[in-house]
Amino acid sequence: MKIAVPREIKNNENRVALTPAGVHELTKAGHQVTVEKDAGVGSAIPDQEFIDAGASIAPDADATWAAGELILKVKEPIEAEYHRMKSHHTLFTYLHLAASRPCTDALLDSGATAIAYETVRNSDGTLPLLVPMSEVAGRLSVQAGAYHLQRSEGGRGTLLGGVPGTPAGKVTIIGAGVSGMNAAAIAVGMHAEVTLLDLDKNKLRAADELYQGRVRTVVSNSFEVEKAAAEADLLVGAVLVPGARAPKVVNDEVLAVMKEGAVLVDIAIDQGGCFAHSRPTTHDDPTFEVDGKIYYCVANMPGTVPGTSTHALTSATLPYVMKIAEHGWAEALRADDSLAEGLNVYAGSLTNEPVAEAFDLPHVAVSDVLAKV
């Protein structure tokens, strides 16, 4: 199969969808890999390493997309890339379509097949291709929040860990999934006072057992969210509904009771955000203020630590890439129910029901698609 890896062009997106190790595995199996010039530079991977692993280097994005049947990316296509998507392409990347009608429409218009990393789902409900980036984003959320709590950045001027004789800062985390638990790990490591909210008591029990009282666990409801947010110096939103828009768990009433200069980090921004007023920001301009509170809503947080993120991502995606390359996307999906969950778009039709509901569009079942192709 012909596989192409374009350079990411989203703001400060320094990851690349494939490492030289991945190239080596694919070319060893007889597949052709084309990597766009300088695609790996942001991840400290020079072109020569891809060449040594067996890839060809294309001079630009047009040549790269034209060389591939299977297109491997990290982030969803942006407007400058829409015209390159063709009906013979299979696109394998993070899509987060429920947060972007323009990208959804562009994919439908292109006729391409699109498989989303974030909706590949195991039988136990885990999301194997989202987990590594959720781990990174969760850990970064507290680092970023701690930085923007500095008075020079507009925050309250609070040191999360405090010092002897002063109280520690208070961190509230909504959501005890992968990103929320990783946020808790860093907040505890910084010696902050941590409150973790979730609807799932089993997740809260696991957190309580792990931290032995260092994290206060609370069953989430509107009353408890408002109470914990009012105390927080840093509020982290880590709410996920796979493939769907994130629910708004912090409304204007909650925002009104929060401290002046408190920081809100919305990890769910890729799926539309879980706070009122959340809107995507970039690493170049990461924050904005609402009613005296600082919002951090960078939509590609792991892109700022590509040395970690690129290798973690390829380790997770490569087994699925190999299946698609070996058998074609349709046969690979028929043989792997987890991978079949990732199909979002086929031949101008949506196959992801939550995305269809978000935009009031029709959809077809994945099983119906696989029965006829």
Residue 261 in tokens: 């200069």
Largest CA distance in the chain: 69
Rounded-to-integer distance, Cα 191 and Cα 207, Å: 16
Rounded-to-integer distance, Cα 163 and Cα 206, Å: 29
**Is 96 an active-site residue?**
yes
Residue 27 in tokens: 């070319």
CB atoms within 10 A of CB 163: 9
Rounded-to-integer distance, Cα 265 and Cα 286, Å: 10
**Among 31, 96, 148, 277, which one carries the catalytic annotation?**
96
CA count, 13 A, side-chain hemisphere, 213:
0
Calculate ∠ Cα 91-100-132, nearest 5°.
60
**Is 88 an active-site residue?**
no
Residue 251 in tokens: 């409304």
Which candidate, 273, 209, 279, 289, places its Cα nearest to that of 236? 273
SS (H, E, C) 250-271: ECHHHHHHCCCCCEEEEHHHHH
- Burial class (CB within 10 angstroms; exposed 0-12, middle 13-18, buried 19+) of 59: exposed
Q: In what order do the strands lie in the sheet with 56-58?
A: 56-58, 32-36, 2-5, 70-72, 90-93, 113-116, 343-346, 349-350
Extended strands (E) in 306-362? 343-346, 349-350
**Among 198, 233, 266, 270, which one carries the catalytic annotation?**
270
Residue 236 in tokens: 């982290």
Residues forming the active site: 96, 270
